[in-house]
Structure 1
Amino acid sequence: MRPSLLVLCLLALPSAAAAQVNSTGDYLSRMDTDGDGKVSLVEYQDWLSYGFDAMDKNRNGVLEPEELPSGRRSAGAALTREQHRAQLAETFRKQDRNRNGSLDARELASPPQ
């Protein structure tokens, strides 16, 4: 995912959800829906799709240029949910430094490489 689009998605998180997350441990516990102490790819994609969902006003699974913040509209390209999830998968892969298919708290707190 282009870093700027990831930032846009994170900024679009509902303020209540964002306000409740104060540390990496909070992110891990919120993202880890099955409670196994690590974040899977699907958990990561589901959590980071809040921003996509908030911007997708017509709920068609595509972010049309008019649904993007004004600074991004000029790019003119739509983004599908599938493309968004594929970009998140690439970011996840870069964060999964030990290549075990999940993120622990340390990996989750580290920037993708």
Structure 2
Amino acid sequence: MGLAGAASAQVTQTRDYLERMDTDGDGRVSLAEYQAWMRYAFDQMDRNGDGVLAPEELPGGKGRPITLAEHMAKLAAAFNRQDINRDGFLDTRELAAPPQR
């Protein structure tokens, strides 16, 4: 598989990812859709379901507690960095782009 083949495979995978995140089927991902999809890790780690990741729920069993609100704010910041054209949505190209700092 040449470079062109690898690039088209990545776009297909990204398109599949977008389709899973895009719950309203409009071909793009809103902040709410992004946060709903990406919060799964928080929900899985929050074993007692209290909306706070306590140190014992964090990888390694240490660190400061993290609230769901803090986690959602971090997701919003990541979304905004990925929204290259600043239209309030992520398309396939923006989802495929390396994370922006």
1:52 is aligned to 42
2:9 is aligned to none
User: Gaps spanning 5+ residues in structure 1: where?
Assistant: 1-21
The TM-score, its normalising length taken from structure 1, stands at 0.75
How much does 1:58 deviate?
0.2
| C-alpha distance in 2 between matches for 1:111 and 1:92 | 12
Give 2:17's match in structure 1, choosing from 23, 27, 30: 27
Matched, 1:63 2:53: yes
2:73 is aligned to 86
User: Gaps spanning 5+ residues in structure 2: where?
Assistant: 1-11
Residues 56-104 of structure 1, C-alpha deviations (whole Å, 9 max, x = no match)? 000000111100111xx34x21110000000000000000000000000
The structure with the larger Rg is: 2
For these two proteins, the number of residue pairs brought into alignment is: 89
Q: State the Cα RMSD in Å.
A: 1.2
In the alignment, residue 86 of structure 2 is paired with which amino acid? R
Q: Detail structure 1 runs of 4+ shifted over 3 Å in the superposition.
A: none
Identity of aligned residues (%): 61
